[in-house]
Structure 1
Amino acid sequence: MSIAVSDDQVELAASLRKWAASLGAIEAVRAAAEDPGARFDDVWGAVEEMGVHAIAVPESAGGGGGTVVDQSIALEACAYELVPGGLLGAAVGSLVSGTPGRHAVQVFPGGVVWDGGTGTGLDLSTRHGAAGEGDGLDDRGRRTAITLAAAEASGVARWCLDTAVEYAKVREQFGARIGSFQAVKHLCAEMLETCEAVTAAAWDAAVAADAGDDEQWAFAVDVALATCFDGAVEVAKGCVQVLGGIGFTYEHDAHLYLRRGLSLRALVGSADDAAERITAAATSGVRRRVDLDLDGLDEPIRPDIRAEAERVAALPEGERRAELVEDGYLTPHWPAPYGLGADPVTQVVIDQELARAEVERPDLVIAGWAVPTILQHGTDEQRERFVRPSLLGEITWCQLFSEPGAGSDLASLRTRAERVDGGWSLTGQKVWTSVAERADWAICLARTDPDVPQHKGITYFLVEMRTAGIEVRPLREITGETLFNEVFLDEVFVPDECVVAEPGDGWRLARTTLANERVAMAGARLGKSVERAVDLASTGDLGPVGRVAVGHAVALATVCGLLGVRTTMRAIGGHGPGPESSVAKLLGVRSRQDSSELVVKLQGDALALVGEVARDEPGLTADVWEMLNTRCLSIAGGTTQILRNVAAERILGLPR
Structure 2
Amino acid sequence: MGIGLTEEHQALADSVRGFAGRSSGHAALAGQGLLGLHLPEEAGGQGYGLLESCVALEALGEQRVTGAYLPTVVVSAALAWAGAGGHGEGRDLLRGLADGSSTAAVVPAAGPAAGSGLLALGPATADLFLVPVGGGAWAVLDRAGVVAEPVDGVDLDRELCSVTVRAAPTGRTVDGPIPSALTANDRATGRSMPADRMAAGWVLDGVPVREIAAVLLGADACGVAAWAVTTAAEHAKVREQFGRPIGQFQGVKHRVAAALVALEQARAAVWDAARAMDDARTMKCAARSDTNRDDASRADAGRDGGVHALAAEVRLAVGVAAVLGPDAAVRCTADTIQVLGGIGYTFEHDAHRYYRRALSGRMLAGDPGPWAEEVAGLAVPGTRRRMEPDLPEEAAAVRDTIRAQARSLRAASPAERRDRLAREGWIMPYLPRPCVFVPDDHVVGEVDAGWRVARDTLSHERVALGDSWGPGSQHTDMAELITRSPPLRQSQRERAGRLWAEGQAISALGLRATLHKLSAADHDRAGSSRRVPGGDPGTASSVRKLLGMRHAQAISEFCWSLAPADRHWNRMILTTRAFTIGGGTTEVQLNIIAERALGLPRDP
Q: Which runs of structure 2 are paired with 1:88-487 in the superposition (5 Å)?
A: 88-98=70-80, 99-100=94-95, 101=97, 102-108=103-109, 111-117=118-124, 118-133=150-165, 134=168, 140-212=208-280, 214-294=311-391, 298-307=392-401, 309-310=403-404, 313=407, 317-318=411-412, 331-337=428-434
Instruction: Write the distance in 1 (CA, Å) between the matches of 2:399 and 2:470.
Output: 27
- Deviation of the 1:534 alpha carbon: 1.7
CA 1:88–1:527 in structure 2 vs 1: closer, same or farther (change >3 Å)? farther
Q: Secondary structure at the match of 2:164?
A: coil
CA 1:324–1:174 in structure 2 vs 1: closer, same or farther (change >3 Å)? closer
Q: Secondary structure at the match of 1:132?
A: strand
Question: Are 2:7 and 1:7 equivalent residues in the alignment?
Answer: yes
Instruction: Write the distance in 2 (CA, Å) between the matches of 1:524 and 1:517.
Output: 10
Instruction: Write the distance in 2 (CA, Å) between the matches of 1:526 and 1:144.
Output: 35
Q: Which amino acid aligns with 2:541?
A: S
**Candidates 47, 62, 67, aligned match of 1:80:** 62
- Contact 2:376-2:497 within 8 A present in 1 as well: yes
2:516 corresponds to = 570
CA 1:67–1:198 in structure 2 vs 1: closer, same or farther (change >3 Å)? same
- Deviation of the 1:248 alpha carbon: 0.3
Question: Are 2:541 and 1:581 equivalent residues in the alignment?
Answer: yes
CA 1:65–1:524 in structure 2 vs 1: closer, same or farther (change >3 Å)? farther
Q: Which runs of structure 2 are paired with 1:47-86 in the superposition (5 Å)?
A: 47-86=29-68
Q: Using structure 1 for the length normalisation, give the TM-score.
A: 0.65
- Contact 2:261-2:543 within 8 A present in 1 as well: yes
Instruction: Write the distance in 1 (CA, Å) between the matches of 2:260 and 2:588.
Output: 15
Q: Which amino acid aligns with 2:109?
A: F
**Over residues 610-640 of structure 1, what are the superposed CA-to-partner deviations in whole Å (9 max), with x where a residue is unaligned?**
4xxxxxxxxx121011001101111112221
Instruction: Write the distance in 2 (CA, Å) between the matches of 1:60 and 1:524.
Output: 47
**Over residues 359-386 of structure 1, what are the superposed CA-to-partner deviations in whole Å (9 max), with x where a residue is unaligned?**
xxxxxxxxxxxxxxxx8599xxxxxxxx
- Contact 2:38-2:53 within 8 A present in 1 as well: yes
Q: Which amino acid aligns with 2:482?
A: A
- Deviation of the 1:291 alpha carbon: 4.0
- Deviation of the 1:4 alpha carbon: 1.1
Q: Secondary structure at the match of 1:111?
A: strand
Instruction: Write the distance in 1 (CA, Å) between the matches of 2:387 and 2:20.
Output: 31
Q: Which amino acid aligns with 2:252?
A: V
Instruction: Write the distance in 1 (CA, Å) between the matches of 2:155 and 2:245.
Output: 32
- Deviation of the 1:569 alpha carbon: 0.7
- Deviation of the 1:77 alpha carbon: 0.5
**Candidates 611, 623, 627, aligned match of 2:573:** 627
**Over residues 472-524 of structure 1, what are the superposed CA-to-partner deviations in whole Å (9 max), with x where a residue is unaligned?**
xxxxxxxxxxxxxxxxxxxxxxxxxxxxx99xx99888656399999879989
Instruction: Write the distance in 1 (CA, Å) between the matches of 2:382 and 2:544.
Output: 24
Instruction: Write the distance in 2 (CA, Å) between the matches of 1:305 and 1:328.
Output: 16
- Higher mean alpha-carbon deviation, 163-172 vs 129-138, is at 129-138
**Candidates 469, 473, 479, aligned match of 1:534:** 479
- Contact 1:333-1:518 within 8 A present in 2 as well: no
1:17 corresponds to = 17
Name stretches of at least 5 consecutive residues in structure 1 with no aligned partner. 26-42, 342-374, 379-500, 611-619
- Contact 1:331-1:338 within 8 A present in 2 as well: no
1:598 corresponds to = 558
Q: Which amino acid aligns with 1:513?
A: T
- Deviation of the 1:74 alpha carbon: 0.5
Instruction: Write the distance in 2 (CA, Å) between the matches of 1:313 and 1:640.
Output: 35
Instruction: Write the distance in 1 (CA, Å) between the matches of 2:547 and 2:459.
Output: 25
Instruction: Write the distance in 2 (CA, Å) between the matches of 1:48 and 1:170.
Output: 38
Q: Which runs of structure 2 are paired with 1:509-520 in the superposition (5 Å)?
A: 511=455, 513=457
- Deviation of the 1:192 alpha carbon: 0.9
- Deviation of the 1:593 alpha carbon: 0.5
Instruction: Write the distance in 2 (CA, Å) between the matches of 1:18 and 1:517.
Output: 37
- Deviation of the 1:326 alpha carbon: 7.6
Q: Which amino acid aligns with 1:6?
A: T
- Deviation of the 1:120 alpha carbon: 3.9
Instruction: Write the distance in 1 (CA, Å) between the matches of 2:409 and 2:571.
Output: 35
Instruction: Write the distance in 1 (CA, Å) between the matches of 2:214 and 2:371.
Output: 11
Q: Secondary structure at the match of 2:393?
A: coil
CA 1:638–1:199 in structure 2 vs 1: closer, same or farther (change >3 Å)? same
Identity across matched positions, percent: 36
Name stretches of at least 5 consecutive residues in structure 2 with no aligned partner. 81-93, 98-102, 111-116, 125-149, 170-202, 281-309, 521-531
- Deviation of the 1:141 alpha carbon: 1.1
- Deviation of the 1:572 alpha carbon: 0.7
Using CA pairs under 8 Å that are at least 6 residues apart, name the structure with larger relative contact order, 1 or 2: 2
- Contact 2:121-2:159 within 8 A present in 1 as well: yes
Q: Using structure 2 for the length normalisation, give the TM-score.
A: 0.70
- Contact 1:527-1:557 within 8 A present in 2 as well: no
Of the two, which has the highest radius of gyration?
1
What's the RMSD between the two structures over aligned residues?
3.4
Instruction: Write the distance in 2 (CA, Å) between the matches of 1:14 and 1:103.
Output: 26
Alignment coverage as a number of residue pairs: 464
CA 1:550–1:309 in structure 2 vs 1: closer, same or farther (change >3 Å)? closer
2:287 corresponds to = none
